[in-house]
Every structure is written in structure tokens, then in C-alpha cells.
Structure 1
Amino acid sequence: MKLKLTPTQNLCVGFLETGFELIQVGDQYFFVKGKRRQKVLSKTLEALVSRGALKHTREGTYELSEEFKQHRKEMRSLVEPKHVRH
């Protein structure tokens, strides 16, 4: 898995991590949450698949890969602030 993502790819991952649903309308893809809708290019989704961040399911949907979720969890644990007692 290539762990370095472009800013656009990172934004897409952020949408998925914060509860946006990825839907397809015709040949276009959108992140949707409530009334908010953000278009995403299919080439961006394919780049995320090739980097191992997304997987394309049998049902034809995209979702974050387990490997990538684990990587993000590990990265967050490295940058969590230490609690300082006064």
C-alpha cells in the first residue's frame, strides 16, 4: 500500500471517515451527507483503490479498506497529545 496521498485523495478519505456516503448517479460519483453533496472524479477513486486506501466491493460500492483503517488508527495514536498534569 502506498501511504502517501494527495490532498484531494486525503479529502476523499476524510469524507468517508466522517460519515459521508459515496453514491453513483449515472457515470458520476458524489459524497453525500444530509443535504451536502460533493462531486468526486472516478479517476480519484481508482487512484485510492490502487494505493490501497479504498476497496471496490462485489456490490459495486467503494469503502475504506481494513488495512487503511488500521494504518490511520496507528497514525492517530502516534500524534495523540500527551496529557500533562499541573
Structure 2
Amino acid sequence: MKLKLTPTQNLCVGYLESGFELIQQDDQYFFIKGQRRQKVLPKTLNALVSRGALAHTEQGDYKLSDEFIEHRKRMQSPSKTKPTHH
């Protein structure tokens, strides 16, 4: 997984992490949450899939990949800098 994302790709991940739903209307994609709507280009979604951040489901939906979610948890965990003692 390539972890380096562009600002636009990070924005898309942020939309998904904050509860936006990704929908397709005709040949266009949008992030939708309540009355808010933000267009996203298919090439951005494809780049996120190729970098491992998004998974494309059998139903044709996009979602954050399990691997990416785990990576985000590791990056946000305060224990990553503290040694663990058993």
C-alpha cells in the first residue's frame, strides 16, 4: 500500500471517515451527507484504490479498505511512540 496521498485524496478519505456516503449518479460520483454534496472525479477514486486506501466491493461500491483503516488507527494511536512493557 502506498501511503502517500495527495491533498485531494486525503480530503476524500476525510469525507468517508466523517460519515459521508459515496454515491454514483450516471457517470458522476458524489459524497453525500444530509444536504451537503461534493463531487469527486472517478480518477481520484481509482487512484485511491490503486494506493490501497479504498476497496471496490463486488456490489460496485467504494469503501475505506480494512488495511487503510488499520493504518489510520496505528498512526493515531498515542502508544506508537511509547514502548510497551509486559
Specify the code of the residue in structure 2 equivalent to 1:66. Answer: D
Task: Determine the structure 2 residue equivalent to 1:52.
Answer: 52
Change beyond 3 A, Cα 1:75–1:8: same
Q: Percent identity?
A: 75
Name the SS for the 1:4 alignment partner. coil
CA shift for structure 1 position 70? 0.2
Task: Determine the structure 2 residue equivalent to 1:6.
Answer: 6
Q: Is 1:29 aligned with 2:29? A: yes
Q: Using the alignment, how far apart are the partners of 2:78 and 2:52 within structure 1?
A: 21
**TM-score, normalised relative to structure 1:** 0.90
Specify the code of the residue in structure 1 equivalent to 2:21. Answer: E
Task: Determine the structure 1 residue equivalent to 2:64.
Answer: 64
Name the SS for the 1:10 alignment partner. helix
Name structure 2 gaps, 5 residues minimum. 80-86
CA shift for structure 1 position 78? 4.2
Task: Determine the structure 2 residue equivalent to 1:76.
Answer: 76
Specify the code of the residue in structure 1 equivalent to 2:34. Answer: G
Name structure 1 gaps, 5 residues minimum. 80-86
Q: Using the alignment, how far apart are the partners of 2:27 and 2:46 within structure 1?
A: 14
Structural RMSD (CA): 1.4
Name the SS for the 1:63 alignment partner. strand
Equivalent residues, number: 80
Specify the code of the residue in structure 1 equivalent to 2:8. Answer: T
Runs of 4+ in 1 over 4 A off after TM superposition: none
